[in-house]
Chain A
Amino acid sequence: MFYRLLSVVRRPRSSQGWQKWSSARSGASAAKAHSVALPAQAQVVICGGGIMGTSVAYHLSKMGWKDIVLLEQGRLAAGSTRFCAGILSTARHLTIEQKMADYSNKLYHQLEQETGIHTGYIRTGSIFLAQTQDRLISLKRINSRLNVIGIPSEIISPKKVAELHPLLNVHDLVGAMHVPEDAVVSSADVALALASAASQNGVQIYDRTSILHVMVRKGQVTGVETDKGQIQCHYFVNCAGQWAYELGLSNEEPVSIPLHACEHFYLLTRPWETPLQSNAPTIVDADGRIYIRNWQGGILSGGFEKNPKPIFTEGKNQLEIQNLQEDWDHFEPLLSSLLRRMPELETLEIMKLVNCPETFTPDMRCIMGESPSVRGYFVLVGMNSAGLSFGGGAGRYLAEWMVHGYPSESVWELDLKRFGALQSSRTFLRHRVMEVMPLLYDLKVPRWDFQTGRQLRTSPLYDRLDAQGARWMEKHGFERPKYFVPPDKDLLALEQSKTFYKPDWFEIVESEVKCCKEAVCVIDMSSFTKFEITSTGDQALEILQYLFSNDLDVPVGHIVHTGMLNEGGGYENDCSIARLSKRSFFMISPTDQQVHCWAWLKKYMPEDSNLILEDVTWKYTALNLIGPRAVDVLSELSYAPMTPDHFPSLFCKEMSVGYANGIRVMSMTHTGEPGFMLYIPIEYALHVYNEVMSVGQKYGIRNAGYYALRSLRIEKFFAFWGQDLNTLTTPLECGRESRVKLDKGMDFIGRDALLQQKQNGVYKRLTMFILDDHDTDLDLWPWWGEPIYRNGQYVGKTTSSAYGYTLERHVCLGFVHNFSEDTGEEQVVTADFINRGEYEIDIAGHRFQAKAKLYPVTSLFTHKRRKDDVELSDLHGK
Chain B
Amino acid sequence: MSSTVSYWIFNSARNSIATLQGGQRLYSRYASNRIKSKWRLFPQGPVTLKNNASCGGIALQKAFRHTSTEEDDFHLPLSPEQVNEVLRAGESAHKILDLVSGVPSSVLRFESNQLAANFPVEDRGGVAACLQTNGLMFGVFDGHGGHACAQAVSERLFYYVAVSLMSQQTLEQMEGAMESMKPLLPILQWLKHPGDSIYKDVTSVHLDHLRVYWQELLNLHMEMGLNIEEALMYSFQRLDSDISLEIQAALEDEMTRNLSLQVAFSGATACMAHVDGVHLHVANAGDCRAILGVQEDNGMWSCLPLTRDHNAWNPTELSRLKREHPESEHRTIIMDNRLLGVLMPCRAFGDVQLKWSKELQRSVLERGFDTEALNIYQFTPPHYYTPPYLTARPEVTYHRLRPQDKFLVLASDGLWDVLGNEDVVRLVVEHLAEVCRHKPDLAQRPANLGLMQSLLLQRKAQGLHATDQNAATRLIRYAIGSNEYGEMEPERLSAMLTLPEDLARMYRDDISVTVVYFNSDSIGSSYKGS
Contacts and interface: CB of A to CB of B under 8 A. Distances in A.
A347 interface: yes
B361 interface: no
Given A328-B452, A454-B8, 20 more contacts: A314-B192, A315-B193, A317-B189, A318-B97, A322-B97, A328-B456, A331-B456, A346-B449, A348-B449, A349-B447, A350-B447, A426-B193, A427-B4, A431-B89, A451-B8, A452-B5, A453-B4, A454-B7, A493-B15, A493-B16
A338 interface: yes
Contacts of A426: 193, 195-196
A654 interface: no
Contact of B448 (A225, A338, A349): A349
Interface string B1-21: 100110110011001100000
A518 interface: no
B402 interface: no
B190 interface: yes
A312 to B, nearest CB: 10
Contacts of A314: 92, 94, 190-193
Interface of B: 1, 4-5, 7-8, 11-12, 15-16, 63, 65, 81, 85, 89, 92, 94, 97, 183, 189-193, 195-196, 438, 440, 445-450, 452-453, 456-457, 459-460, 464-465
18 contacts: A212-B183, A213-B183, A307-B81, A313-B92, A314-B92, A328-B456, A329-B459, A330-B465, A332-B453, A339-B453, A347-B448, A350-B448, A350-B452, A426-B195, A451-B8, A453-B4, A454-B7, A494-B12
A660 B89 CA distance: 45
Interface string A320-349: 001000001111100110110000011111
B404 to A, nearest CB: 27
Contacts of A453: 4
The 6 closest A-B pairs by CB, nearest first: A346-B450, A329-B465, A493-B15, A332-B456, A451-B8, A431-B4
B445 A350 contact: yes
Q: Which of B5, B65, B97, B191 is most buried by chain A, counting CB atoms within 10 A of its CB?
A: B5
Contacts of B5: 431, 434, 452
A825 interface: no
B15 to A, nearest CB: 4
A212 B175 CA distance: 20
B15 A339 contact: no
A189 B396 CA distance: 56
A453 B4 CA distance: 6
A313 B452 CA distance: 31
Q: Which of B89, B195, B449, B459 is most buried by chain A, counting CB atoms within 10 A of its CB?
A: B449
Interface string A246-286: 00000000000000000000010100000000000000000
B449 A335 contact: yes
B450 A339 contact: yes
A495 B11 CA distance: 11
Interface in A101-149: none
A88 B226 CA distance: 59
Nearest to B469: A327
Contacts of A454: 4, 7-8
Interface in A198-241: 212-213, 225
Contacts of A225: 183
A378 to B, nearest CB: 23
B181 to A, nearest CB: 11
Interface in A292-331: 307, 313-315, 317-318, 322, 328-331
A466 interface: yes
Nearest to B192: A314
A329 B460 contact: yes
A463 interface: yes
B440 A328 contact: yes
B190 A345 contact: no
A317 B65 CA distance: 39
A425 interface: yes
Contacts of A329: 438, 440, 456, 459-460, 464-465
B124 to A, nearest CB: 13
Contacts of A335: 449, 452-453, 456
Given A451-B11, A494-B15, A338 B97 contact: no
Interface string A535-577: 0000000000000000000000000000000000000000000
Contacts of B445: 350
Interface string A447-460: 00001111100000
Interface string A485-514: 000000001110000000000000000000
Contacts of A431: 4-5, 8, 89
Contacts of A318: 97
A317 B438 CA distance: 30
Interface string A421-441: 000011110010011000000
Nearest to B89: A431
A338 B196 CA distance: 41
A329 to B, nearest CB: 4
Contacts of B191: 314
Q: Which of B89, B191, B440, B453 is most buried by chain A, counting CB atoms within 10 A of its CB?
A: B453
B375 to A, nearest CB: 19
Contacts of B459: 329
A347 B450 contact: yes
Contacts of B438: 329
Contacts of A336: 453, 456-457
B4 A332 contact: no
A843 B12 CA distance: 31
Q: Which of B65, B438, B447, B456 is most buried by chain A, counting CB atoms within 10 A of its CB?
A: B456
